[in-house]
Amino acid sequence: MSKAEWENNEEIKIFRKYLRIPTVHPNIDFTACVAFLKRQAADLGLPLDVIYPANEVNPVVILKWEGSQPELPSIILNSHMDVVPVYPEKWTHDPFSAYMDDEGRIFARGAQDTKEIGTQYLGAIRALKAKGFQPKRTVYVTFVPDEEVGGYHGMREFVNTDYFKNMNVAFSLDEGGPSLKESYWVFYAERTAWPLRFKIKGTSGHGSLLLPSTAGEKFNFIVNKMMEFRASQVKILKENPNLTTGDVTTVNLTQVSGGVQNNVVPAMLEVVFDLRIAVTQDAAVLEQQFRDWCEEAGGGIELVFERKDDFSPATKIDASNPFWTAFETTLHELNLKLSPIVCPGVTDSRYLRTKGVSAIGFSPMNKNTPLRIHDHDEHIRADVYLHGIEVYKKIIPAVTNI
């Protein structure tokens, strides 16, 4: 297709309208976004609900496509409305213009994460309804807020509502990520995020003295232990090329603070680590190890978890999970290769998995889409976007008619 043909394509038009709504952190006003989704629901002839599970500024929008057997457990097609901040001066085009170049690349914040799958779901449903298809299981298309800052005012609260309980959800599709290879990434699990701060107290005094039990000595001990643990995870990755970052526990020193001036031994030093715990790692054992190191360093160290997510079980990707079997079979029938991996970051799927929902992260973008999530010049090609609708046109019937 040419640029003119892409620009006149109705699905591309809808997608670009969605991209132009600046649901960007911080202090997002979702009013225009909700209005856009209400128009989409009306065009599709689907009922829509808007609920506020956490507060009055973070809506969850739910479109309902009722199944022929609504008593069966339902399906969720999830995406998030919010997007991360931008630095406009770093972009080739206005990040909220949805500019399309001659190659069909559509530039906008959210083009890969995750406004594209939200409207791809709707495009697939539009095509399926036009053919007279009705799913056996009820399908809910959910648009949630707040995912980019943890989902605390979005999916985390939504899954605890009576509304969600009454949905009787069995399976969910949510975001994946662009793959630089021919195959498509499929996320079946996520690591547990525990960013932690060590608040290290020690003897204070004049910088010319060799005081005992200083914060600096304890700081050095803790940092060395954490970096040794980090090196062990790097070693695991190097020794097994079949593993990805999501298969190990990652540790990264991200913040250091403390001290008043260069000739005063500080009474307190603080160091923060970004910690993402592998699904195979016993988190309780790891926490105890950290606490043991605090005592071995000399004591007087407070361990503060700045965030302590609950463990999220992995979704089964074998014959015991009929939803996975249907999903995998469909991709094979489309001659699409898939690479199941543990998500290197976190998505809202973790909250669904803790409720017993079988959740898969999948965004139909392969090697034609360079990884630009959270980066400048985020974009997706128009042909890749439209191909994604074709993929969902096959996946949705497969998983809903089990």
List the catalytic residues. 82, 147
Let me know if 292 is exposed, middle or buried by CB neighbors in 10 A (0-12, 13-18, 19+).
Answer: exposed
Q: Whole-angstrom Cα distance, residue 132 to residue 114?
A: 28
Torsion of CA 112, 63, 30, 36, to 10 degrees: 80
**Sheet with 358-361, side-by-side order of all strands:** 48-51, 60-65, 139-144, 74-80, 169-174, 358-361, 184-190, 338-343
Q: Which residues, 6+ apart, have CB-to-CB distance to 224 below 8 Å?
A: none
Closest CA to 299 of 289, 291, 287: 291
Pick the closest to residue 350 from 392, 308, 389, 388 (CA basis): 308
CA distance 172 to 169: 8
Give the pair of three-digit tokens for residue 350: 């973790």
Cβ atoms within 10 Å, residue 85:
11
